[in-house]
Amino acid sequence: METINALTIDISKNEWHNQKGFFKREVPMPVLDEKHNTKDAASVIVKVMYAGICGSDRGMWYRNAFTELFHSALEKEHKSMRIVGHEFVGEVVGAGSLVNELYGIKVGDPVSGDSHITCGKCFQCRIGEQETCQDQAIMGISIDGIFGEYVKIPAKNLWVVDFNRVRPEVCAMYDPFGNAVHALTRVDVRGVRIAIFGCGQIGLFSILLARQFGAAKVIAIDVNKDNVDMALELGAHEGIVIKPADKANPYDIDREVIDKVKELTYGKGVDVSMEMAGFNSSVNNCIEATRFGGQVILFGIKDGDFIIPKFSKMVVKGITLHNIIGRQIFRTWQIAQRVLSDRKNGVQDKMWDIIMRGGNGPVIKFSEFSHELMEEKMKQYPKLLFDMQS
Ligand SMILES: [Zn+2]
Ligand SMILES: [Zn+2]
């Protein structure tokens, strides 16, 4: 049997509970077998060129996100091993018999694609709100993912890309960039003051987009000074380094930071705040930093229960909470493509030159993957990519 290399977690080897990290293994080469699996008629085999490592991969690496979903999905499939990863760009090298007829996609096409595989049948899917599909699978978490040299993907999830418009490495980041597009198109950010709590990759993308979509003032907040500096370089108007949350009181707000945000907004608080870090304190900082009648966008999910003290105060302030999951398929993708293709707005170049340092450091050769290298790189850079074919 032909095999490929992939990054995995095997729960039969206790790799979830007793060990952190991903494990490189030889797994069977994915094949299209329409006789035994009718869905393969509408699936493709993609040779992965670049794969993005995102915040949820970090959460899985350290075992502090998606614990329940990861286990329940494996149980349902009667499997113990999962291939991880969900952000990709690659080339279609095999296509089921219906792929071209249904989706206009063919062998040789360069593609990225959405990591959420929606059911197509539930109420939300039928009314065009697939992002809230009640029966969706997420690549690399609840079904096998894309940290492999070749992967099988339903063609309906693919987004054909054009390397003349967006460079391949940036195409591999459509999925997380799309999260930021989704978040920043949920509320109207024209002319608003916005605070972004958490400047990891999607927080940083959000800064680029907030500027692009016309926010009047962007305040970037992170525990890591390097990330705050990068946020300022990307166009944030103000940067604040915040202390890590108090472990004894994980939901306490940071009064100093709130006061600073108030000062920067002439006493009002921001119109919009975005929770991109996933900490309980960060959710409460968002609520506290937002003006009466303002909006809070929640995105940085982590496992566990969160506490909102003085809940009624949030209600009385008239704050609206928005939960962002995935991307609107494919409305978000269309907007992302337009923003990235416009070379005059600088967004694509800033992503590549500043966040990805022109590929020097944040791009890891898949053949050189090791636990130590990954931990070192995750500490060093907000966003990483695997070069899967070298
Ligand atoms: Zn991601
Ligand atoms: Zn559905």
pLDDT at 248 over 90: no
The ligand minimizing its distance to the Cα of 129 is 2
Distance 53 CA to ligand 1 centre (A): 7
pLDDT of amino acid 118: 96
Taking only Cα atoms into account, the Rg of the chain, rounded to an integer number of angstroms, comes to: 21
pLDDT at 239 over 90: yes
The ligand minimizing its distance to the Cα of 299 is 1
Give the confidence band of 193 by pLDDT, cuts at 50, 70, 90.
very high
Distance 112 CA to ligand 2 centre (A): 21
Distance 141 CA to ligand 2 centre (A): 17
Give the pLDDT mean for 299-321: 92
Distance 87 CA to ligand 1 centre (A): 6
Distance 86 CA to ligand 1 centre (A): 6
Distance 131 CA to ligand 2 centre (A): 8
Q: What is the DSSP letter of 293?
A: E
Q: What is the DSSP letter of 233?
A: H
Q: Give the tokens for residue 252.
A: 């306490």
Give the confidence band of 361 by pLDDT, cuts at 50, 70, 90.
very high
pLDDT of amino acid 111: 98
pLDDT of amino acid 333: 97
Pairing mode, if any, of strands 110-113 and 116-117?
unpaired
pLDDT at 69 over 90: yes
pTM, to two decimals: 0.95
Task: For the chain, list the domains and their CATH numbers.
Answer: 3-172+356-387 (3.90.180.10), 180-323 (3.40.50.720)
Are 238 and 222 in contact, with CB atoms under 8 Å apart? no
The ligand minimizing its distance to the Cα of 128 is 2
Question: Tens of pLDDT along 109-154?
Answer: 999 999 999 999 999 999 999 999 999 999 999 999 999 999 999 9
Give the pLDDT mean for 238-254: 92
Q: Where are the beta strands (DSSP E) in 40-128?
A: 43-53, 81-83, 87-95, 110-113, 116-117
pLDDT of amino acid 97: 98
pLDDT at 229 over 90: yes
Distances (CA, A) of 173 to 147, 241, 326, 383: 14, 26, 13, 9
In percent, the amount of the chain with pLDDT more than 70 equals 100
pLDDT at 15 over 90: yes
* Distance of alpha carbon 374 from alpha carbon 188, whole angstroms: 37
Q: Counting Cβ atoms within 10 Å, is residue 386 exposed (0-12), middle (13-18) or buried (19+)?
A: buried
Question: Tens of pLDDT along 342-358?
Answer: 999 999 999 999 999 99
Q: How many CB atoms lie within 10 A of CB 1?
A: 6
The ligand minimizing its distance to the Cα of 146 is 1
Question: Tens of pLDDT along 260-273?
Answer: 999 999 999 999 99
Torsions phi, psi for 238 (to 5 deg): -135, 150
Distance 331 CA to ligand 2 centre (A): 17
Q: How many CB atoms lie within 10 A of CB 249?
A: 12
| Sheet strand arrangement including 23-28 | 23-28, 3-10, 81-83
Q: Which of 224-228, 278-282, 301-305, 306-310 has the lowest mean pLDDT?
A: 301-305
Pairing mode, if any, of strands 270-275 and 193-197?
parallel
Distance 127 CA to ligand 2 centre (A): 10
Provide the residue count of the chain. Answer: 390
pLDDT of amino acid 249: 85
Tell me which H or E stretch contains 210: helix 201-212
* Distance of alpha carbon 180 from alpha carbon 204, whole angstroms: 9
Distance 38 CA to ligand 2 centre (A): 19
The ligand minimizing its distance to the Cα of 135 is 2
Distance 61 CA to ligand 1 centre (A): 13
Distance 104 CA to ligand 2 centre (A): 22
Give the confidence band of 224 by pLDDT, cuts at 50, 70, 90.
very high
Tell me which H or E stretch contains 174: helix 174-186
Q: Report the alpha-carbon angle 10-11-16, nearest 5.
A: 95
* Distance of alpha carbon 390 from alpha carbon 381, whole angstroms: 20
Q: Counting Cβ atoms within 10 Å, is residue 19 exposed (0-12), middle (13-18) or buried (19+)?
A: middle
Give the pLDDT mean for 242-248: 88
Nearest to 105, CA basis, from 45, 28, 61: 45
Q: What is the DSSP letter of 355?
A: I
Pairing mode, if any, of strands 150-154 and 43-53?
antiparallel
Cα–chain center distance at 384: 12
Distance 201 CA to ligand 2 centre (A): 28
Give the pLDDT mean for 74-82: 96
pLDDT at 83 over 90: yes
Contacts (Cβ under 8 Å, ≥6 apart) of 320: 294, 295, 296
Distance 177 CA to ligand 1 centre (A): 9
Distance 107 CA to ligand 2 centre (A): 28
Distance 68 CA to ligand 2 centre (A): 20
Distance 181 CA to ligand 2 centre (A): 21
Distance 115 CA to ligand 2 centre (A): 14
Nearest to 207, CA basis, from 186, 243, 183: 183
Question: Tens of pLDDT along 24-55?
Answer: 999 999 999 999 999 999 999 999 999 999 98
Give the confidence band of 246 by pLDDT, cuts at 50, 70, 90.
confident
pLDDT at 188 over 90: yes
The ligand minimizing its distance to the Cα of 326 is 1
Distance 157 CA to ligand 2 centre (A): 13
pLDDT at 245 over 90: no
pLDDT at 304 over 90: no
Distances (CA, A) of 228 to 54, 86, 114, 139, 237: 18, 27, 29, 30, 11
Q: What is the DSSP letter of 157?
A: G
How far apart, in Å, do the first and last CA atoms of the chain sit?
22
Give the confidence band of 21 by pLDDT, cuts at 50, 70, 90.
very high
